[in-house]
Structure 1
Amino acid sequence: MSGAINWECPYCGSKSTIREDQDFLGNRFEFNLGNRHAYQAVKSLVIVCPNAECREYTFRVSICDHRKSAAGLWSDLPEKKFWRLCPQSKAKVFPNYIPELIRQDYEEACLIVDLSPKASATLSRRCLQGMIRDFWSVAGKNLFDEIDKVKDKVDPDTWDAMDSLRKLGNIGAHMEKDISLIVDVDLDEAELLISLIETLFTEWYVHRYERLQRMAKIKAVAAQKEAERKGE
């Protein structure tokens, strides 16, 4: 990471262009010490949010193999592991009118996504089921049945995405009949499921709340004008 990059703060959500040595700083060191993996490179990255009202920092650490090419040049291979330390996850802060248990499943899915994408997908699946039951007031014998019951209530793209989340979440929730068959969920897939949960939080709960607030204001203005007309 060098120069200037586009970045979104995980704390305040502001989008900005951050610059090396001004907003972010990276460090690295190498070690061997006779370990079984040969030369390793450890990298750290600190980013400070440019938003004056935020100024929070993020901190991550990664490790990769450090190898010499046939031409005799040393370079880093793709990172093998990385750890988000501050904040511990990419979870966004959603309002408390979204039920707490549903928000907890979402936050845990974000927290564990780097360590176990499969487990994260399972939590996203559970979060989706909780939302469908709460927001649409439906219940069924399983998630497939519940998703089917809201097919006429959501647009086709959303329904397809929810059904896809269910299928990926099933990989972690249910073992294959053939236990020797290994089906995994990768990090990108698990993060896509989390982004779907975030989209549904916004489209279902946040938009409904904002709509109710607007309607309440209109009613309040109308009531005030009616009172003024009657001289009250």
Structure 2
Amino acid sequence: MAFNWTCPHCETKTTINSDDHTKHESNLCKDNAEGLKSADILWIVCPNTECNKLSLYVRLYELNYIPEIYRRGDFIKEWTLLPNTKAKIYPEYIPLAIRQDYEEAYTILELSPKASATLSRRCLQGMIRDFWKVKKGRLFDEINAIEEKVDPLTWKSINAIRKVGNIGAHMEKDINLIIEVEPKEAQLLIQLIEMLIEEWYVHRHERELKLNSIVDIAEMKDKAKKS
């Protein structure tokens, strides 16, 4: 059956047909301490010809034994093996250090929220220093310094997130200091990073492309008129 899917590599929203994916089912019927299990191995090739990259997922289920029949039970968990993170793949015009901190923060999110939050704070500080050329020492002060530079809605989002739980307290401390946070707090920081990357870097790049296109067209028409 066809199903909707968003490529984790190029973020193309598409419909996956039988030609684009392969699924294998495997059942563990041997008695063990964890109980009977069933798993799907799902391979998907992105149908976008400019991407065409491979994704690999493993989905784990309970397996129930009804006399003479094995029947799949409740869904347990899904793992994404390729790419090895669910983080968005951002273009190379975004500084490498920012992309690396974001990807590592996302990759370690479930395993260690406090480590993820530390990387997110460092990523946020790197973005402010790179994009706005603000350097105050503490992340808390650097965030305050851009209040008049960003649009009101963006500032409202930044300010709202840093008031959640322990996040605000973290902004006033050394960005490399690891402090306990709730998983949802670490997730909010990841979402803030993604929003700001879009608002600052991606939108600026798209604007530059459009303006350069207008300039090129204008110059071509000017040359045509003179010739």
For the aligned pair, the TM-score class normalised by the smaller chain equals 0.7 to 0.9
Q: Contact conserved, 1:147 with 1:159, CA < 8 A, in 2?
A: no
Contact 2:8/2:89 (8 A) holds in 1: no
Q: Which letter maps to 1:66?
A: L
Q: CA deviation at 1:225?
A: 7.8
Q: Distance in 2 between matches of 1:192 and 1:4?
A: 33
* TM-score (structure 1 length as normaliser): 0.72
1:31 to partner: Cα distance? 1.9
- CA drift of 1:108 comes to 1.5
Q: 2:2 aligns with which of 4, 12, 21?
A: 4
Compared CA separation, residues 155 and 66, structure 1 to 2 (3 A): farther
Q: State how far apart, in whole Å, the 2-side matches of 1:7 and 1:114 are.
A: 23
- Helix, strand or coil: the match of 2:183? coil
Aligned to 2:121: 125
Which residue number corresponds to residue 28 of structure 2?
31
Unaligned runs of 5+ in 2: none
Please, which moves more after superposition, 128-137 or 3-12?
3-12
Relative to structure 1, is the Cα distance of residues 137 and 65 closer, same or farther in structure 2, using a 3 angstrom cutoff?
same
Work out the number of aligned pairs and report it: 217
For residue 46 of structure 2, what is the aligned residue in structure 1?
Answer: 49
> Aligned equivalents of 1:18 and 1:78: distance in 2?
22
Deviations 1:87-115 (A, max 9, x none): 11233343333222111112222333354
How far residue 35 of structure 1 moved from its aligned partner, in angstroms, is 1.9
Residue matched to 1:185: 183
Query: For structure 1, which runs of at least 5 residues remain unmatched after alignment?
Result: 177-182
* Matched residue type, 2:193: I
Q: 1:95 maps to which residue?
A: 91
Residues 222, 4 of structure 1: alpha-carbon distance in 2 compared, 3 angstrom cutoff: closer
Alpha carbons of structure 1 residues 222 and 37: separation in structure 2 relative to 1, 3 Å: closer
Q: Is the 8 A contact 1:165 1:193 kept in 2?
A: yes
Q: Deviations over 1:199-225 (max 9, x none)?
A: 322321232234345545656777788
The amino acid that maps onto 1:34 is: D
Equivalent AA in structure 2 for residue 40 of structure 1: K
Query: 1:59 Cα shift?
Result: 0.5
- Quote the Cα distance in structure 2 between the aligned partners of 1:216 and 1:18: 36
Give secondary structure in 2 for the equivalent of 1:66: strand
Deviation digits for residues 60-117 of structure 1 (CA, Å, limit 9, x no counterpart): 1133433469xx994422314x432211123334333322211111222233335444
| Deviation of 1:55 (Å) | 2.8
Q: Percent identity?
A: 45
Decide whether aligned partners of structure 1 residues 143 and 222 sit closer, same or farther in structure 2, where only a CA change above 3 A counts.
same
Cα gap change, 1:68 to 1:161, in 2 (>3 Å): farther
Distance 1:68 1:226, change over 3 A: closer
The answer to whether the 8 Å contact 1:42/1:63 transfers is yes
For 1:143, the equivalent position in structure 2 comes to: 139
Partner of 2:104: 108
Contact 1:121 1:185 in 2 (8 A): no
Provide the residue aligned with 1:17 in structure 2.
Answer: 15
Distance change in 2, residues 1:225/1:32 (3 Å): closer
Equivalences for 1:214-225 in 2 at 5 Å?
Answer: 214-215=210-211
2:23 and 2:40 in contact (8 A); partners too:
yes
* Distance across 2 between alignment mates of 1:8 and 1:24: 13
**CA root-mean-square deviation:** 3.6
